[in-house]
C-alpha cells in the first residue's frame, strides 16, 4: 500500500496487522467476532476485508476493536507509507491536510474525539453519532473494568503470598514447640 489508499484498504491492512500480531488465522479471527456480530466471518469475508474490498459498519469496527484490543482510531490511522487517504465520493485527505492521522496527538485520535470530529465535520447522522458516543463510553468502561480486575488479581495474589509466608513462619515454631 503506497501513496494513496482508500479508507477500506487502510482498515483492512490494520485488521491483518492486528490479526498477525495475535498469531490468529482468518478463520480464528472470524470466530472471535461471532459473539459481537451474531455470526462468524468466513475466511472469504476476512480476505475481502483485509484486502480493502469491502466497507465496514460501525458495529463491525466496534467488534474488531474489542476482539483485537485496539482503539478504533488505530484502525483508521494509515501506516507511514500512505500519503493520502481516499474517502467515499473520492474525497482525498492528503497527509498535510489531516490525512496523516498519526500526526495527531494520541488523545485526539481517541474514540470519543474521532466520533465528535466525524459528527461535526462529515455530517454523520445524529443517531449514529449518539451510538458511536455510547460505544466509546462503553469501550472506556470496559478498559477501566479490566484495569480493576487486574488490580484485584494482583491483590489476591499478594495476599495469598503473604498468607503462605506467614504460614511457613508459624509452622516451624509450632513444630519446635511439640
Per the CB < 8 A criterion, the answer to whether 34 and 40 are in contact is yes
Same domain, 82 and 117: no
Grid coordinates standing for 172? 516451624
Same domain, 22 and 79: yes
Domain end among 69, 101, 133: 101
Query: Vertex 78, ends 77 and 82: CA angle to 5°?
Result: 160
Give pLDDT, residue 103. 45
Same domain, 97 and 12: yes
Domain end among 42, 77, 101: 101
**What's the structural domain count of the chain?**
2
User: 92 forms bridges with which residues in the sheet?
Assistant: 86
Same domain, 8 and 49: yes
Residue 86's domain comprises: 3-101
Same domain, 96 and 115: no
- Return all residues near 110 (Cβ < 8 A) that are at least 6 apart: 71, 73, 136
Query: Helix (H, G, I), strand (E, B), or coil: what is residue 6?
Result: strand
Q: What secondary structure letter does DSSP report for 81?
A: T
pLDDT at residue 173 greater than cutoff 70: no
Domain end among 72, 101, 130: 101
Same domain, 146 and 78: no
Same domain, 114 and 97: no
Cα separation, 3 vs 82, whole angstroms: 5
Give the model confidence (pLDDT) of 84-112 as tens digits. Answer: 777 665 555 554 444 444 444 444 344 44
Same domain, 76 and 144: no
Same domain, 93 and 125: no
The pTM of the full predicted model, rounded to 2 decimals, is 0.54
User: 86 forms bridges with which residues in the sheet?
Assistant: 6, 92
Give the model confidence (pLDDT) of 3-52 as tens digits. Answer: 778 888 889 999 999 999 999 999 999 999 998 889 999 999 999 999 99
Cα separation, 84 vs 73, whole angstroms: 16
Same domain, 77 and 124: no
Neighbours of 92 (CB within 10 A): 13
Amino acid at each position: 500500500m503506497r501513496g494513496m489508499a482508500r479508507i477500506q484498504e487502510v482498515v483492512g491492512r490494520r485488521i491483518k496487522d492486528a490479526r498477525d500480531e495475535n498469531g490468529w488465522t482468518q478463520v480464528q479471527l472470524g470466530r472471535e467476532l461471532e459473539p459481537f456480530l451474531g455470526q462468524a466471518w468466513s475466511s472469504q469475508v476476512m480476505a475481502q476485508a483485509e484486502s480493502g474490498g469491502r466497507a465496514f459498519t460501525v458495529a463491525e469496527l466496534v467488534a474488531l476493536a474489542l476482539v483485537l484490543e485496539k482503539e478504533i482510531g488505530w484502525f483508521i490511522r494509515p501506516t507511514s507509507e500512505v500519503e493520502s487517504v481516499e474517502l467515499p465520493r473520492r474525497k482525498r485527505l492528503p497527509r498535510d491536510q489531516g490525512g496523516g492521522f498519526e500526526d495527531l496527538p494520541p488523545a485526539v485520535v481517541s474514540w470519543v474525539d474521532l466520533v465528535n470530529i466525524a459528527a461535526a465535520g462529515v455530517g454523520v447522522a445524529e443517531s449514529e453519532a449518539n451510538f458511536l458516543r455510547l460505544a466509546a463510553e462503553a469501550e472506556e468502561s470496559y478498559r477501566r473494568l479490566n484495569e480493576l480486575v487486574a488490580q484485584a488479581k494482583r491483590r489476591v495474589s499478594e495476599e495469598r503470598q503473604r498468607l503462605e509466608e506467614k504460614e511457613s513462619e508459624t509452622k516451624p515454631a509450632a513444630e519446635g514447640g511439640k
